[in-house]
Each structure stands twice: as structure tokens, then as C-alpha cells.
Structure 1
Amino acid sequence: MFGPVRVQPETRYTAEVVVLVTSLGAKRTEFNAGKRAKDLLEIKGVHHKIIDFNRDARQAGTGESENKAISKLSEDGKLRSGTNNDLILPQVFIDGQFVGNATDLQGLEDDGLLDNILMRKACPSCNSSRRTPDITECKRCPACWEPFQEILPGEMTIKQKLQEFHDLHDDVEYDEDEEEEPFEDDMMHSMTAMPTDMDGRSRSGYGDARAGVQYTPEERAILAAAEFQISDQVQYWSDSRHRWMCAVVDNIRLKDCKVVYDLNCKRGAQADKIKAYEDAEE
């Protein structure tokens, strides 16, 4: 079976994350992939619910909740199977939506998309940022209309995991009412925010705030002539997800004499991977 919680879960990640794995070491490929997915989530401090498809392990552990999750996913037709009808493992679900395997999960992290999905600020399926964080009020994505539905509501909760963590680490204190510190993307956004003109698009003040770079008038003219400007809504091609993702331009800068875009989902995006936003409802 999988070990106890080693990293304290962060309460800012409110989405339900369910990971289907196998604890059978004989299935080495599936076992190792499941461990990668679990380790990524745990290192980030994401509470996740492990569903072990090793029946013997379920009977020896929290079998009731795990069997309930398996039954629900089966009834809803969400379980993915391979060519021989063998179950593909691991499988990751966020608020009831299938997001892929360990590689897909890592891709979301690499593209800077995972945090907003976990905080219920973006849809796991289409990455639309029009989602309302309260799952009781926003039951479907307003862009792709995929439903948000927890697989095990009220079971295997973060509160239980926090208690488990504290039982193992008596010297760690946790205050549920403690104010969250701003996370990296929020701080980066405030650092790169630029003044705007009448149409709301930034035409001045370009620079790489992280490196303390200030551009010459000629360089600023190049940036001002860029196809997209700060606050523009665009679409970004994700190599790891193999599809276009909705994004917003946070900053524009020069890198190796070429214009690159800092998006809300990807820093330093190349111009050839960005296109004008196309509304999903059109």
C-alpha cells in the first residue's frame, strides 16, 4: 500500500483529485507511473484520493470508499481501458473530469495550468478561466459545458489528511483560518503589470521586471508593434497537451532579439505558438 502523508496539504487547492493506481509491484510500469503522479501531487501539497485497483489492498484498507469510487466511475463510463480491455493506470480525475495519466498531469504542471485547475479557477477539460470556484454554484463549465462533480464528496477529505499529518508531525501547527500568502503567479502578475491606454492595451512601460531590464525606445517600438498586447485574450499551443489553450497576455518582452509573451499559463511563449482567441461558443 501507499505510505502516509509526508507533505502537509494546502487548503488553497480545493478541487477534488482522485488518482486510480495499482499497488501491485508486478505491474511495474503502471506502479511507477502511479507513483510519479502521486509524488507530483504530494510535493505540490495537493490533497488527493488514492483509489487502489489491487482488490486485496482495498480489502485491507479503506475498501468501502474505494469500491464506491470505482462503482461510480464505472456507472458513469469514465474508466479508460486499453486495446485488450485492460484498465489503463494511473488515471487522474479532477472534480470528476478525466485529465489523463501521470504524463498528462506533469504536462499541466509544466504549462503552468495545474494550479488554477486545482483552485477551481479553470476548467480541467478546456482550461476556460470563466469557472466559478464554488462547485455548488458552478456545476458545469460555461465554455465547454462539461460537468463538475466530486466522485467521493465528504469522504477521504483534506481535513482527515491534515489530522493524519499532524498525528505524525506533532510539532507542526495548522490554522484553518490562517490567511493564505499570495502564490507565485499572483506576485509575478503584479510585477509585470503595465499602464494601459484608452483601449485598455498596454503601449508603454515594457520590460522584464524579474531581470530588471528596461528597453530602449527602439526596442519599446518593437514591443508596441507586437501582434498581441498585454491583457489580450489569446490561444496558446501546448506541446504537452497537444491542443490550443485559452490564455491571457500578462507581459511582452524581448528574448534573443525576438518578441516573447508571458501568458497566465506559460512564461516566455514564442509568437508562433500563439494565435488570436476564438470564443469556444462561436
Structure 2
Amino acid sequence: MIVPDISQNAVAVADHYDELDPIYRWVWGDHVHHGLWATGRETPGEAVEALVDTVGDRLELLPGQACIDIGCGYGSTARRLAVTRAVRVTGFTLSAEQARYAAAHPVPSVDIQVRDWLDNGLADASADAAWSIESSEHMVDKPRFFAEAHRVLSPGGRFVICAWLAETDANGWKVRHLLEPICREGRLPSLGTREDYEAMATAAGFTVTGYEDVSRRVARTWPICARRLVKALFVDRETRRVAFGARNRNSFLSIPRMILAYRIGAMRYGIFTLSKAGEDGR
């Protein structure tokens, strides 16, 4: 597990997303996560929705199920799956700005809450399925992140995690100049490997039923973000004001680091499918 030299907490994560909100929506769009390319001909918007649909497929969602979106951002993933899979979704975000945007784009079967997942207040076995798309990285206590998901899910429930991961056995300059700074600049309390995640999931009681490394299929997200940011800095005064005056402005340094980290394999992107044992123990 890679830990930054400056500790990060939930307050820092919330401040990061609240302050940089207008830039995030310009650069990342409503979903605030990677796109997933299959042919390479998809638009960025199509690729982003492809990742959401992949999560829905792995969860094997059924109409009427109660679902949890852990780290829901602007609620776009929750809204898409609520509409396309006819499920009910409760989303959790630390960002008041993200929740405000979600409230302005309501869907009846989606409820967005400003609350830390590690203190979610949900009843035991109250959800049929859960997902976390690029939010586990922001969790201060990752074992508890898994434990809470296991507690909240009903027997037989599924949990899909899309996560930034460190290369197994990464060391030396890859850690010093890429992975550790990415944690610090991106407000990540820690960055795990595939092995770390599978060990924590198993310790929480989950069975790992699937894993896919899709690093090559998501990596083009970062050059797209870089181009969008440069364009925004040239044409939008508000972007310049926020970018150059923000407390969190060092976050933009992570964009070239991410491009390089994916290119050399220091950063990986994995999709985990986990399951909680059913009432029969299977």
C-alpha cells in the first residue's frame, strides 16, 4: 500500500471536490470517472457510459433492487443505472457541490446523500447490490470500506469496484515521482495493489468472483482530460480563476503523471466483482 507523505482525510477530499467543482465538470463531465474503450472509435461520452454499463452487467442488476453507489459524484452513474436497469439507488458523496448538482438533475428512484461512507447509517443487509467507481482510493480506512459494504449487503449481494491500483511491487522512482505524488495531489489517503484489494475483500467476508485489468482500455481518458483543461484555461475566465487561485491547484500536476504512469505500467485500473455468501452459505 502506497501512502502519501502528507496524510489525507475526508475533509481534504471534500474540500478538493468542492473547490474544483467547475473544473471537474468541464474536464471530466458529469460522471467524473474514466471511460472504457472497446474499439477505440467511441466518443469520450460513449466510453464513460460503457464503463457504467459494464458495472451494471457485472452486478447482474434486476428491476426493483435496492442499490448503493459509494462515492457517487454528481449522481450520473446512479441515474443511468436507475433508468436503464429499473433499480433504486442511494448515493453517497463527501462533496456538497456534487450533491447540489445532483439535486438539480433529479430522478425519482435516486437519493443522493452528503455523508461519509465509513459512517453511512444504513441498516444491516439493506441493499441488494453496491458499486464503487474510483472512490475507494479516497477512503481513509480501506478495510472498513469493505467491511461496511459487506454489512450493508444482503446475503447473495454483489459488489463491483472500479479502482486505480498501483503496479504490484512498484518501487524506486515510480513511487517517488509518480504514485506517491499522485496520492498527495489527488487527495488519496493510500493507493493499493490488486493483491491488497483482494486481501481486504476476503478479510471482510467477500468472495472475489472476478477481476479484470482494463488499464489499456481506460488510459486514453487522461490525454483527453489534458486537452480539455488546456482549452478551458484559454477560453474560460472562471477556469483560470479557480485553477490558478485554488488551494488544491497542485492537483493538476497529476494529469501528466497519470499519463506517464499508465504508459509505463506503474498505474493499473482494475474491475473487481465480489459476492457475499447467500443464506445457504454459498
Fold equivalence (TM over 0.5): no
Give the alignment's TM-score, normalised by structure 2.
0.28
* Structure with more helix by fraction: 2
Give the alignment's TM-score, normalised by structure 1.
0.28
Rg comparison, structure with higher value: 1
Q: Say which structure, 1 or 2, has more relative contact order (CA 8 Å, 6+ apart).
A: 2
